[in-house]
A and B are shown apart, each in its own frame.
Chain A
């Protein structure tokens, strides 16, 4: 109570001044503070394994392949409007992979920390290696995220905290970019939650992308990397050049209903359009009931049949594999 004399006030101040630090000290001595022992070392060279979605992640996805994406109508329309030629615009050639896609794309990682000068603990973790050098910086000092109107970048603004032996990060302030390399977009309102877990020499990162504009549910994906001390992650410099002469102001695109590749995935893989067009319902097991009688498997695989990467695998062993894809081993 602060109802006493001025002197009484000072007494109160003194009590507060010394009592709170004392309690904090006691808690610290009691082992009730955040346990450092639950953390693991992220630092090192991490080599990506492409043992899922190799065709999407390495050579690149098929046009208008929206399979398994919880797209909104706006997200679907945005993807339909994408023309691959847009990437030949000098303004677009060097766009880095944003935080919504960086860990999904081809990415061997070099992870390192910068220590807090006082505690010696990591002040930031840096994840280097995603295309275009959108290096992810994870602030570990509990700082708040900036104002919603602050600068948006492809890497975004990321904070992290340990939850037991899991590092959970939260990324905001991401510039509009892509969540799949065929034009499926994220808006500048997208956020990313990531969970880092390490099991021996395997690092698994699970990411959830939430986007109130282009997604109706969080998009969850997870990938694993293996520790590889011999790996060297090189920079991916990019210099814009004029690849195609165009009239000034022309931006390649498709107007609604004019994308000629809408049915290509259906024709190539026999998968019905209701699946190819994406939507949250396509992520759930019960969706199979809807397509069971419509799916017609191709007689044989024609494209990207044997691709995989990482681990120094000898792809020459697979010569002769049924394939028609140019990027195949």
Chain B
């Protein structure tokens, strides 16, 4: 019996030492012969690709229908914004070919819609919306924005935010992180509306988003396994907002694009 115990003791100790040595070796490799960093696509800590549907349970009266003129509830607008909103004229926007003013980056995700998210290439995540048939390109890495006029979807720079690895922020993780979020900062956006009824945002607007993914494990059998994206959205606009407008949206994953319903921009609906 004692002999057996000794064998197991030796085995355990040896295994522990081997394990520690392996960990030490792995961590040491972080500063040595490291492989080239994985592409943003390969190193994605969460998989956002697929079809997603907006579930409109909040701000229903301001998202599912076009609210009345002068309805600015919940948005911390400035008096200057109110003056613009009070003068909202969808016919004028249509005549000017500006039907897409409520489909710019700070507003487009609030539309009742479906998203189709794919990798355009190793460094670019593409987000298409069926409402207004808009396309957002989220650029990772050292992407340089092209020169030119501002666009509805602006210039989006993306990065994966992952938990700090063991050893601190400067330590290189040995395997791709299995959790994290997507941070997107968008600038150079063509001025438009935060809300369909003419609540404006200016050319100075900066949009910051955090995309988080959750897979449900505590729901009943019919709903367990559902995947949800929650997007925490911060809109900063020194001209038309008194403070950053902070909202959050949620999208549920769908099996396919069977309900994809592309519709052009509308200034009224």
Contact = CB atoms under 8 A, between A and B. Distances in A.
B65 A301 contact: no
Given A30-B23, A318-B82, 10 more contacts: A51-B247, A52-B74, A69-B57, A204-B210, A204-B212, A206-B228, A224-B232, A297-B65, A297-B67, A306-B73
Contacts of A222: 58, 230, 248-250
B166 A35 contact: yes
B210 A193 contact: no
Contacts of A19: 8, 12
Contacts, number: 255
Contacts of B212: 166, 195, 197, 204, 206
Contacts of A165: 162-163, 179-181
B131 interface: yes
A136 interface: no
Given A206-B228, A304-B73, A170 B218 contact: yes
A238 to B, nearest CB: 27
A163 interface: yes
A51 B181 contact: no
Interface residues of A, number: 89
The majority secondary structure among interface residues of chain B is: loop
18 contacts: A19-B12, A22-B8, A23-B12, A29-B20, A30-B22, A53-B74, A70-B57, A197-B181, A199-B183, A204-B212, A220-B55, A224-B232, A226-B246, A283-B56, A297-B65, A300-B69, A317-B79, A323-B70
Given A18-B9, A53-B59, A297 B179 contact: no
Interface string B3-18: 0110011011001100
A193 B163 contact: no
Interface residues of B, number: 86
A261 interface: no
Contacts of A92: none
Interface in B195-230: 210, 212, 214, 216-220, 223, 226, 228, 230
A249 to B, nearest CB: 37
Contacts of A197: 181, 210, 212, 230, 232
Interface in A297-315: 297-302, 304-308, 310-314
Nearest to B230: A206
Interface in A222-243: 222-224, 226
Contact of A285 (B71, B131, B219): B131
B246 A54 contact: no
A86 to B, nearest CB: 25
Nearest to B57: A68
B66 interface: yes
Interface in A5-53: 7, 10-11, 14-15, 18-19, 22-23, 25-26, 29-31, 35, 37-38, 49-53
Contacts of A193: 216, 218-219
